A and B are shown apart, each in its own frame.
Chain A
Amino acid sequence: MAAEPATKALGHEEMTAVIAEGHSFETVTDKISKISLTPTLPRQIILFGLIGLMLMGALMTSVAMLVVKGTGVWGINQPIGWGFAIINFVWWIGIGHAGTLISAILFLFRQEWRTSINRFAESMTIFAVMCAGLFPLLHVGRPWLAYWLFPYPNVMQMWPQFRSPLMWDVFAVSTYFSVSLLFWYTGLIPDLATLRDRAKSKLARIGYGMASMGWRGSARHWQRYEVAYLLLAGLSTPLVISVHSIVSLDFAVSVIPGWHTTIFPPYFVAGAIFSGFAMVLTLAIPVRHLFGLKDLITLNHLNNISKVMLATGLMVLYGYGMEVFFAWYSGNQYEGYMMFKNRMTGPYWWSYWALIFCNGVVPQLLWIKKIRITPLPLFVISIVINIGMWLERFVIVVTSLHRDFLPSSWGMYAPTKWDWGLYLGTIGMFMFLMTLFIKFLPIISQFEVRELLHKKKHANGHHE
């Protein structure tokens, strides 16, 4: 991932390009579909997938251990009942926000630069939400009874607690997952048909053929497709906001110091977008390098993603600032203690300051344009932000729970190897699923890039 030599000499034209010069419909389709239709993968990707597969072993073992022995194998205790399970749930859900934001909101805003990264981000969303969903499912202790979370008439005459945001989470996350999946799949259909038509092997033709649901590209197909896509984009938009708002309410509706504060919903949403975009960069930078997609995922894309990260990062920082100010201004002794005596200087002080460094200090480098268009530092920054956002959830969950109102009920928290096994295991699952996606599906939306190309040619034709 060496810095591109062309970086320095970039002119205005190249910087604003969402697709490099010299492409035709044919070359775009060739380039993208080749990735799925070639039997081999770059060695790095295979390695990436294998590591993922290996970590999935850890996932299976950790889950088996948990189911056999119960949640006691985790580090959770009284008073820290939430530990890694909730930290990782919120972290993954946050990462799962970029996809829908890029696909739906940027689509509605007609931002052309979304086109070559939307497929990628959407897939990431689906996989991240799958990882996220595992945690609460396992955290209930008896996952085989998880269907009790759904309100259905039953002989026990038992209903879930509708006033609990944990309950709202069940609806919010499952809706989010279903709509994202539908959105992702709908967008894939025309491209799946392209792969079907280009595939050489019989198996691939049958597989892609079934998945493309008889798409022939007729005018009626396209007309229906456009309507469906627009409707799904409209439906997805409020979901981007609602899911993480509800996740924030899991904390904010309580009276626990450090959790009960009104800025939480918008600040969580900003944080989710922040981390989602960071993950997009973490994955997109190596992929564009390995598959030679620099002319489709251009420096302009990196620049725009960085700007969104900078903006949302500043919003998150604003949230941190407000938390500190109100911990003092509220005059509430517990809030004051939580912020100044516990988070900042208590036993977990390192996590708070590491968080401020990762999410508050490092992203400020993105003010510098040169960094925004140089892949290597961007890649490093994106990883730092991923870590920072994980730390944020660690600080929120652990520091608030381990010392609440009564010193007699204070405690400490340390994750066990099974906590780590499960966490790293979900990262492995994510990596493995991403590898499968890269192998079998078009990682860039081919027809949308072609459409963009068409628009661009059309516009140029008018000017000349």
Chain B
Amino acid sequence: MTETTVDCSKLKKPALIAAVVGLALSAVGYVTNHAQFAQSWLIGWNFWFLIASGSLGWLMIHHMVSGRWGFVIQRPLEAAARTIPFMLVLFVPVLLSMHELYEWTHEEVIAHDHLIQAKLPYLNAPGFMIRFGVYAVIWIFLAYRLSALSRKLDQGPDEAVVKKMRAIAAPGLVLYALAMSFASFDWMMSLEPHWFSSIYGALYMVAGGLSTLLFMILVLRRVPPLRAVATAQQSHDLGNLTFAFTVLWAYMTFGQFLIIWSGNLYEETFWYLDRAASGWLVVSWILFGFGFILPFFLLLIRNNKRQLNLLATIALGMIAVRYVDVYWQVAPTFRDHPAALSWMDLAAWVGVGGTFLYLFARQLEKMKPLNQDHRFADFIAGGKEGH
């Protein structure tokens, strides 16, 4: 097995610059126009957090199923999952902007709104923060415990460690799913406190899972020691998973829409009516066309999945659509027109993204880039032919 470490200096420096510039500009935004900053930050932060949290989810799934696709990206997944505590620190600006974001914190609105009053036992600032703390404990524990165990495997095969990872991952996935779901209700769904959809949590996780896969494909392409061991088969596997998650995302997104459209109850439809208003309708169609139709056909073609460079190009386009999705979830609450972009949108995305990528690179540098798990070694030795 290769002993080289990853040289991340090429990524670290620009990422650090982006982080500093983006965060500085965002800080200016926070002072000058807090309301605008809050929206921009929530959108930008969400985009990157979905990758960090999605990595933890995939890591646990990998420990459960030990698929051959997982061994190559296991270390990047661990590195990304280990950024979670820092990403959660970056959530503090949202906590400071609750008044700007969440209508249910406004006393005067609550006073006249019977529905929000009924939801107050859940939708209240202390509850929001306590739950945030609970989610944080769950995610951080899982991410650090699992990556620590994985490093133990670097010393040599140890069945006991593998078993322990499984023993954590199985109940871990249950806790993870619950935390992610309620986090999505808190952070995203409650932007429209009247609106509700019981699939929202699952949809949030699937969107995160998709973002993570796309990010990992790009990492595999860009990080030399990983690229060196990645066979066409692994690229194919990741391509297939991306395909499956694209379809799953479309299935859930469309299912939610169809059920709400058919029911035609205003308490639910207004969310879609906002997104069918003049400018937003275009974004909705873009999401359908570029989030589902185009990737569906591109990823159906075998060659596009087996050649990592082609797959990475597709992934780059698809990850841009992931931003559109987050934007489409959040912004219609505040903006009448999708073109009402602000420079702060970019600043927040760059600032959070730079920080995430810098931290990710630092974590990855500290690890052996390839996991030294004997099962992986067996698998590589067993042949690259791939059945």
Contact = CB atoms under 8 A, between A and B. Distances in A.
Interface of A: 12, 110, 241, 245, 249, 252-255, 260-266, 314, 318, 322-323, 325-326, 329-332, 367, 459, 462
Interface of B: 115, 118-119, 122, 159, 170, 174, 177-178, 181, 185, 194, 196-202, 251-252, 255-256, 258-260, 262-265, 267, 382, 387
Contact of A260 (B174, B202, B252, B263): B263
Nearest to A332: B267
Given A263-B199, A314-B174, 14 more contacts: A12-B159, A253-B263, A254-B262, A254-B263, A262-B260, A263-B198, A265-B259, A318-B177, A322-B181, A323-B198, A326-B196, A326-B198, A332-B267, A459-B382
Secondary structure at the A interface, as helix, strand, loop or mixed, is helix
A70 B215 CA distance: 60
Contact of B196 (A110, A241, A329, A459): A329
Contacts of B265: 255, 260
B183 to A, nearest CB: 14
A459 B174 CA distance: 36
A330 B174 CA distance: 24
A266 B252 contact: yes
Contacts of B170: 367
Contact of B198 (A12, A255, A322, A331): A322
B251 A264 contact: no
Nearest to B387: A110
Given A241-B251, A255-B265, A331 B119 contact: yes
B259 A245 contact: no
Contact of B258 (A249, A254, A263): A249
Contacts of A332: 267
Contacts of B199: 262-263, 265-266, 322
A314 B202 CA distance: 13
B122 A262 contact: no
B195 to A, nearest CB: 9
Contacts of A253: 258-259, 262-263
Contacts of A314: 174
Contacts of B263: 253-255, 260
Contacts of A322: 181, 198-199, 201
Given A261-B198, A262-B259, A331 B115 contact: yes
B256 A245 contact: no
A263 B202 contact: yes
A260 B251 contact: no
B16 to A, nearest CB: 40
Contacts of B200: 262
Give 5 nearest A-B pairs by CB, closest first: A253-B262, A263-B198, A262-B199, A322-B198, A326-B198
Nearest to B185: A329
Contact of A249 (B185, B259, B260): B259
Nearest to A261: B198
B315 to A, nearest CB: 22
Nearest to B114: A331
A262 B119 contact: no
B255 A266 contact: yes
A73 to B, nearest CB: 33
Contacts of B118: 331
Nearest to A245: B255
A265 B255 contact: yes
B349 to A, nearest CB: 29
A245 B267 contact: no
Residue among B196, B200, B260, B382 having the largest count of chain A Cβ atoms under 10 Å: B196
Most buried by B among A254, A262, A314, A367: A262
A330 B259 contact: no
B152 to A, nearest CB: 19
17 contacts: A241-B251, A245-B251, A249-B259, A252-B259, A252-B262, A253-B262, A262-B259, A263-B199, A263-B202, A265-B251, A265-B255, A265-B259, A314-B174, A318-B181, A325-B198, A329-B119, A459-B382
A367 B170 CA distance: 9
B296 to A, nearest CB: 12
Contacts of A255: 263-265
Contacts of A110: 387
A330 B196 contact: yes
Contacts of B115: 331
Given A326-B196, A326-B198, A331-B115, A260 B259 contact: yes
Contacts of B122: 329
A270 to B, nearest CB: 10
Contacts of B251: 241, 245, 265-266
A349 to B, nearest CB: 22
Contacts of B252: 265-266
A249 B252 CA distance: 13
Nearest to A324: B198
Contacts of B202: 263, 266, 318
A264 B256 CA distance: 9
A416 to B, nearest CB: 33
A13 to B, nearest CB: 13
A263 B203 CA distance: 10
Contacts of A459: 382
A262 B267 contact: no
A330 B200 CA distance: 13
Q: Which of B119, B251, B267, B382 has the most CB of A within 10 A?
A: B251
Nearest to A265: B255
Contacts of B264: 255
A31 to B, nearest CB: 26
A394 to B, nearest CB: 21
A459 B387 CA distance: 12
A263 B255 CA distance: 9
Question: Which of A261, A318, A330 counts the most B-chain CB atoms under 10 A from its CB?
Answer: A330
B352 to A, nearest CB: 29
Contacts of A254: 262-263
A332 B181 CA distance: 21
A330 B192 CA distance: 12
A169 to B, nearest CB: 15
Contacts of A323: 198
Contact of B255 (A262, A325, A331, A367): A262
A262 B256 contact: yes
B259 A264 contact: yes
A330 B268 CA distance: 9
B241 to A, nearest CB: 11
A330 B267 contact: yes
A6 to B, nearest CB: 21
For B159, B198, B201, which residue has the most chain A Cβ atoms within 10 angstroms? B198
A249 B197 CA distance: 15
B220 to A, nearest CB: 21
Contacts of B262: 252-254
A212 B198 CA distance: 49
